């Protein structure tokens, strides 16, 4: 039998640099999303899971909001960093090294979230169904799963287009770029190229360039998988956090949206 080995991803080799590049202040956005989840749940949530938490940006928001917070990721380097950073900020959360297709939390949570297209890493046949089933098994009845994602199809003018950004923390400055190189229209599989230019005072500059394969779901196909899962579509908010009509056809031009799925 063929076995797949996942090689350590170079994008996460320097978790602090990743966190500086992707760890912008999302607290206001996260608490606004929690307010919408509370309205759908019918009460304020007590607990939340950050799915594919990476270095822990959303996880820190959950802990800062006073929730019992859990962070799940398959990359142990990122989890170690996330724990250290939480400690530095006087926050706490429980971290789990696990695959988002198959995991069990110590107790079901009120809310789960999957930020910035993390759901796109589910590229294999059946992966999304396994993930939605595992997620639902770890949610309370009425609990919400907030999925931040962009939909396909991808218009040609987006391919190869980069919008580099830079952030600094202390003596570390990171310039980052994330661009979509190609999408297979048949399978929805997309190749992204991520670049980090890492400048630490007193150290030589380092450049990390790596490619990630992710799935770009078109909305009808994604909805069909949700319909086959224990979750149901409850709400969609645009990037501006304004409600969007779930029946309106979204494409890559609509940017990331927040899809609320409810158990
Ligand atoms: C683009 S990062 C997003 C990290 C974080 N949510 C953020 O907003 O910065 C995607 C994360 O997904 C994780 N990941 C990918 N596939 C996974 C899987 N099957 N199970 C758990 N984590 C996974 C990676 O290790 C990585 O930390």
- Report, as an integer, the average pLDDT of 181-200: 94
Distance 170 CA to ligand 1 centre (A): 25
pLDDT at 222 over 90: yes
C-alpha dihedral (62, 65, 69, 73), degrees to nearest 10 = 20
Helix/strand/coil for 139: strand
Confidence class for position 177, pLDDT limits 50, 70, 90: very high
**Percent of the chain at pLDDT above 70?**
97
Substitution site in 33, 61, 118, 256 for ligand 1 pocket (most atoms within 8 Å of beta carbon): 118
- Report, as an integer, the average pLDDT of 58-74: 98
pLDDT at 6: 61
Distance 57 CA to ligand 1 centre (A): 12
Contact residues for 144 (Cβ-Cβ < 8 A; gap 6+): 37, 40, 41, 45, 110, 111, 112, 234, 260, 261, 262, 263
Q: What is the pLDDT of residues 144-170, one digit of tens each?
A: 999 999 999 999 999 999 989 999 999
Q: Is 118 in the pocket of ligand 1 (CB under 6 A)?
A: yes
**b/e per residue, 101-114, with b = 16+ CB within 10 A?**
bebebeebbbbbbb
Q: Is 78 in the pocket of ligand 1 (CB under 6 A)?
A: yes
Which domains, from first to last, does the chain contain?
A: 10-152+217-262 (3.40.50.150), 156-214 (2.20.25.110)
Distance 51 CA to ligand 1 centre (A): 7
- Round to whole Å and give the CA distance between 17 and 263: 36
Which is the closest atom of ligand 1 to the Cα of 101?
19
Q: Which residue minimizes the CA distance to atom 25 of ligand 1?
A: 75
Which is the closest atom of ligand 1 to the Cα of 50?
6
pLDDT at 23: 86
pLDDT at 111: 99
DSSP secondary structure code for residue 65 in this structure: T
Distance 121 CA to ligand 1 centre (A): 7
Q: Is 121 in the pocket of ligand 1 (CB under 6 A)?
A: yes
Compute the half-sphere exposure of residue 95: CA atoms within 13 Å on the CB side of its CA. Answer: 25
Q: Is 23 in the pocket of ligand 1 (CB under 6 A)?
A: no
Q: What share of the chain is helix, strand, coil (3-state, %, to 5)?
A: 30, 35, 35
Helix/strand/coil for 187: coil
pLDDT at 30 over 60: yes
pLDDT at 147: 98
- Report, as an integer, the average pLDDT of 168-181: 96
Q: Which residue has the higher pLDDT, 6 or 105?
A: 105
Which is the closest atom of ligand 1 to the Cα of 116?
8
DSSP secondary structure code for residue 155 in this structure: P
Distance 37 CA to ligand 1 centre (A): 22
């Amino acid at each position: 039998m063929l076995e797949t080995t996942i090689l350590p991803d170079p994008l996460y080799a320097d978790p602090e640099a990743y966190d500086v590049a992707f760890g912008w202040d999302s607290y206001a956005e996260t608490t606004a999303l929690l307010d919408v989840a509370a309205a759908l749940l019918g009460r304020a949530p007590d607990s939340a899971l950050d799915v594919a938490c990476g270095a822990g940006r959303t996880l820190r928001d959950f802990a800062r909001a006073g929730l019992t917070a859990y962070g799940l990721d398959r990359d142990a380097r990122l989890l170690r960093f996330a724990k250290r950073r939480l400690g530095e900020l006087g926050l706490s959360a429980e971290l789990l090294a696990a695959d988002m297709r198959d995991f069990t939390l110590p107790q079901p949570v009120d809310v789960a979230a999957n930020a910035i297209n993390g759901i796109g890493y589910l590229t294999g046949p059946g992966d999304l169904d396994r993930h939605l089933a595992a997620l639902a098994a770890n949610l309370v009845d009425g609990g919400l799963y907030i999925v931040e994602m962009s939909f396909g199809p991808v218009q040609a003018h987006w391919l190869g287009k980069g919008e580099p950004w830079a952030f600094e923390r202390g003596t570390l400055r990171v310039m980052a770029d994330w661009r979509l190189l190609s999408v297979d229209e048949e399978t929805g599989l997309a190749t992204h190229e991520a670049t980090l230019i890492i400048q630490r005072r007193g150290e030589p500059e380092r450049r990390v360039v790596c490619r990630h394969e992710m799935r770009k779901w078109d909305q009808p196909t994604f909805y069909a998988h949700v319909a086959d899962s224990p979750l149901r579509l409850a709400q969609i908010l645009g990037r501006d956090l304004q409600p969007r009509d779930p029946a309106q056809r979204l494409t890559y031009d609509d940017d990331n949206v927040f899809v609320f799925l409810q158990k």
